[in-house]
Amino acid sequence: MNVQQLENELWEAADQLRANSKLTAAEYSMPVLGLIFLRHADNRFKAYLPEIEADIPPQVPAAQREELIKLGFQGKAAIYLPEAARFDRIASLPQGAKVGEIIDAAMDAVEAEYPVLSGALPRGYAAFEPDLLADLVKIFDRPAIKAATGDVFGRIYEYFLNKFAMSGAQEGGEFFTPPSLVRMIVGVIEPGHGLVLDPACGSAGMFVQTGHFIEDVRHQVVNDSVTFHGQEKSDTNTKLARMNLVVHGLDASNIRQGNTFYDQAEHLIGQCDFVMANPPFNVDGVDTKKVEAQVDAVANGGRLPFGLPGTNAKTGAISNANSLWVQYFYAYLNDTGRAGFVMASSASDAGNKDRDIREQLVKTGHVDVMMAIGNKFFYTRSLPCTLWFFDKGKPQDLQNQVLMIDARNVYTVVSARSHVFTDEQLANLNAIVWLHRGEREKFIALVARYQRQVDDWLAAIPARIEADTAAVQTLAAPLQAFANQATLAELNADQAEDARIAQAQLDAFKAELTTAQTDTATADAIAALLSACTAAHAAIEVVRAEPVEAHATQVTLQAALDALGPQLKATSKLLEARHKRWLKLLDTAEKQLRARQSKAFDGKAAREAKHALLAADAKKNEAPTVRDAALDALKQAAYFIHQVHWLHSRFPQALFEDVAGLCKAVSIEDIAASDYSLTPGRYVGVAAAVEDDEDDFADKLRAIHEELAELNDKAVELAGRIASNFEELVR
C-alpha cells in the first residue's frame, strides 16, 4: 500500500467535507469512519469470498447459496457482509438515489448480523447532501483504498483525528500506537494463548496485530487461541475498537468502556497471560483518594503492589501516572504472564517515589527487556519512547538479568516526519531477544530465511536483466536508423537560418551513439555478475538440501554472498548509467536534432522503449517497468545479503553477546549501582564509528533535505501569519 497516496486521497475526502458540508468536524468524523469500516470490511470479505464460493456446488439455489457463504465466514479473519452492506452496491448507486438512507440501512444490516456492534456503527448519513455523499463514496472506492491491507483502520482513524483536530486523540498524552511498535511488542511477548488484556486499547490495534501473529506465525485460529479483554475511557474509541476487531473477524464481546485509573477489572487481576498497551503518557491530576484503595498485595486483589507514586504538593493529586500504569500491567499478569507496553522515555529514569517503585519492580526479577526507540515513530508527534517488557515466567538463570536494547539508531525513513521499522529490522531486533533467551534455533531459522530470499532474487536477476537489455536494444534501433539515414536537408526543412542544425551536431550525436553501442564494460559486468549469481545459487541449494541448516554452513555461505554484495551494487549503478545514457541520446535526437521530422525515425518504437526504461510513478500506481524490475532484483538481493551480515557481524557464533551501542544483558546489581535506572542508553555504551554505506548516506541526506524544505514552508507560513496579525493590530 502506498500510504502517502492513501493519505492524500483521504484528505481530498476531508476537503470535500470541510468545503461543502454544513456539519462540524465532530459530526462528520464518525460517519466518515463508518464508510472506512464498510470499505475495509468489503476488502476483507472479497479476499475470502472466492475460497468460500469454490467449496459450494454450482447447482445450489441462490437463497441457500447465500446462507452457505455466511457459514463459510465463521472462523475467518473477516466478516460476512450482507448484500445490502457491500460497498460495490453503494458505489454503483444511480445519481439521485437516497445514498444516506441506503448507507444507514447498510449499517443496520451489519449490526443485525453482529449484535456485538449494536450501537457502535454511525448513522445519520441522511444529514449529508446526497451529491457530496456520493462523491465521498467514490473517493473511498478508489484503487489505493480498495487495495489497502493490514491495520489500516487504526491508521486511518488517527489520520482523521489529526487532520480534523478532534479532541482526545492528542491531548492528555494519548497517541495512536504506530504499527512498528505494536509489531515489536507482539514479537517480543508472543501472545499466542490464553487471556490477552489491553487496558488502554484505543482502536484495538494491539489485538489486531496479535491476530496476525497467531494466524501467520502460530498457524492457529485466533478466536480459539486467545480471549481479548480491552478497556477504553472514550465511548468513541470503544466503538472504534469493536468495529476494528469485528472487521478482522475477531471477538469484540469483551471490549468495555471505563477509565482504567478508577474502573478496576477485578476479575482480571493476576489472571492475564499477556498484557499489552500504549497508555497515555505523563498524565497528571489523577485523584489520589480514588486510587489509594488499590494499594495492596497482588494476592489480595490490589493493582498497586509497589505503592502510590508521588503527589502534587498543592493539589494532592498524583503528579505523574506513569508508575500507576507500570504497576497495573504487572499486577494483571498471572504467574507466568508477559507484558509489553509503551512508556515515555522519562519513566525509566524518574526519581523520588517513581524510583522506589522501579527498585521494587527490578528486584522481582520479572523485568525482561527494555528497548529505547528514537524520534518520529509516532504519527502525530516526534518524541522518543521506551518499550518495557515483563516476564513472570522467566527461567531462573535469567532472573538476575535485564536485556537492554538501544534501538534509537535502527529505523527506516519514510518522510522527514516519519520513521518506521521494516519487517527485517523488526525481525533482527527480535533475534537479539531470542538469543538472550537461548532460542538459538530461531536465529538460525531467520538467517536461513534471508539466505533463501537472496536465492530467490538471484534466480530472478538473469531474466530481468535480459528484459532490460532488450529494452535498451529496442531504443537503440530507431536511434541507429536515424543516425544512418537522416539528412540535414530533411531536418532543416522550413527552418530559419539561425535554427538550422549543423553537421557538427549530427556528427557529435553519431559519435556518442557509437560509444554507447560499443560499451563493453557494462556487458562484461553483467556477464560476470550472472556467473557469480549462478555459483551463489548452487551454494545456497547445497545448504538448503541439508536436513538441518547449521550455523557454520550458513557462515561459510555468507562469506561468498558478502563478496557478491558489492558486485550487485556496482552492476546496479552501471545499469542506471546505461539507462541515462540512452535516454539522453533519445532526448538529444528528438529535441536538438528534430528526429521526429525524419522518415528514418520510428517514434512509436522509441516511445515504448523510453517508457520501459523510465521509473514508474508510484503515486499514480503505475506498473513497474523492466528497468524497475531489473534494479529491484539487484537491490533486493543485496538487501537480504546485508540483513545476514548485520546479524552475523554482531552475533558471529549465533549466541547472545553484548554489542556496544546496541544491546547488553545487565545484572540487577548493575542496575542498582545506576540508581535503578532502566534507560538502555546508560548501559549499552556507544558503538564504534563505522563508515556510512552510500545508500544509507543518501537516505539520510534525503531526509535532511525533506525536513529542511518542510521547515522552510512552515517559516513562510508563520511569516505570513505574523504579517497578517501585524496589519490587524495597526489598523
pLDDT of residue 616 exceeding 60, the answer is yes
Residue 524 has pLDDT above 70, yes or no: yes
Measured between alpha carbons, how far is 230 from 213 in angstroms, rounded to an integer? 18
Q: What is the pLDDT of residue 166?
A: 35
Q: What is the mean pLDDT of the chain?
A: 87
Q: What pLDDT score was predicted for residue 80?
A: 94
Return the minimum-mean-pLDDT range out of 125-129, 364-368, 632-636, 714-718: 714-718
User: Nearest-CA neighbor of 127 among 269, 12, 21?
Assistant: 21
- How many angstroms from the chain centroid is the CA of residue 25? 27
Higher local confidence (pLDDT), 146 or 518: 518
pLDDT (0 to 100) of residue 707: 58
Mean pLDDT (whole number) for 641-662: 97
pLDDT of residue 677: 97
Predicted local distance difference test score (pLDDT) of residue 549 = 65
pLDDT attached to residue 688: 73
The pLDDT value given to residue 700: 56
Q: What is the pLDDT of residue 371?
A: 98
CA atoms of 29 and 102, how far apart (whole Å): 19
Residue 629's pLDDT is what?
Answer: 95
Candidate from 156-170, 171-185, 326-340, 459-473 with smallest mean pLDDT: 156-170
Q: Are 382 and 329 in contact (CB under 8 A)?
A: no
pLDDT exceeds 60 at position 704:
no
pLDDT at position 160 is 62
The whole-angstrom separation of Cα 211 and Cα 205 is 10
Residue 590 is given by DSSP the state I
The CATH code of the domain at 3-149 is 1.20.1260.30
* Cα–Cα nearest to 435, from 247, 615, 653: 653
The reported pLDDT for the residue numbered 177 is 79
For the segment 92-130, what is each residue's pLDDT rounded down to a tens digit? Answer: 998 888 899 999 999 999 999 999 999 999 998 888 888
Band (576; pLDDT cuts 50, 70, 90)? very high
pLDDT at 267 over 60: yes
The pTM of the full predicted model, rounded to 2 decimals, is 0.86
3-state SS, residue 554: helix
Q: Which string of DSSP letters, residue by residue, matches 228-275?
A: EEEEES-HHHHHHHHHHHHHTT---TTEEE--TTT---GGGTTTEEEE
Structure-model confidence comparison of residues 318 and 139, the more confident one? 318
Q: Which tens digits make up the pLDDT trace of 194-226?
A: 999 999 998 898 999 999 999 999 999 999 999
Largest separation between any pair of C-alpha atoms in the chain: 100
The answer to whether 279 and 197 have CB atoms below 8 angstroms apart is no
Q: What digits encode the pLDDT tens for the residues 648-658?
A: 999 999 999 99
Q: Terminal CA-to-CA distance of the chain, rounded, Å?
A: 51
Q: Looking at the predicted structure, is the pLDDT value of residue 2 above 60?
A: no
Measured at the CA of 485, the angle between CA 480 and CA 491, to 5 degrees, comes to: 105
Cell of 521: 564494460
**Residue 705 above 70 pLDDT?**
no
Q: How confident is the model at residue 170 (pLDDT cuts 50, 70, 90)?
A: very low
Fold of 179-438: Rossmann fold (3.40.50)
Q: Would you state the pLDDT for residue 635?
A: 97
Is residue 697 pLDDT above 60, yes or no?
Answer: no
Res 193 pLDDT > 70: yes
Q: Which residues contact 553 (CB under 8 A, 6 or more apart)?
A: 543, 546
Banded model confidence at residue 713, pLDDT cuts 50, 70, 90: low
Q: Can you tell me the mean pLDDT for 502-516?
A: 94
- Give the confidence band of 699 by pLDDT, cuts at 50, 70, 90: low
Cell of 534: 549462478
Q: What is the pLDDT of residues 287-301, one digit of tens each?
A: 998 888 777 655 555
Residues 6+ apart with CB under 8 A from 289: none
- The 3-state secondary structure of 620-674, one letter per residue: HCCCCCHHHHHHHHHHHHHHHHHHHHHHHHHCCCCCCCCECCCEEEEEHHHHHHC
**pLDDT digit string, tens, across residues 271-321:** 999 999 999 888 988 999 888 877 765 555 578 899 999 988 888 899 899
Cell numbers standing for residue 149? 491491507
Q: How confident is the model at residue 355 (pLDDT cuts 50, 70, 90)?
A: very high
* Mean pLDDT score, 328-334: 96
Percent of the chain exceeding pLDDT 70 equals 85
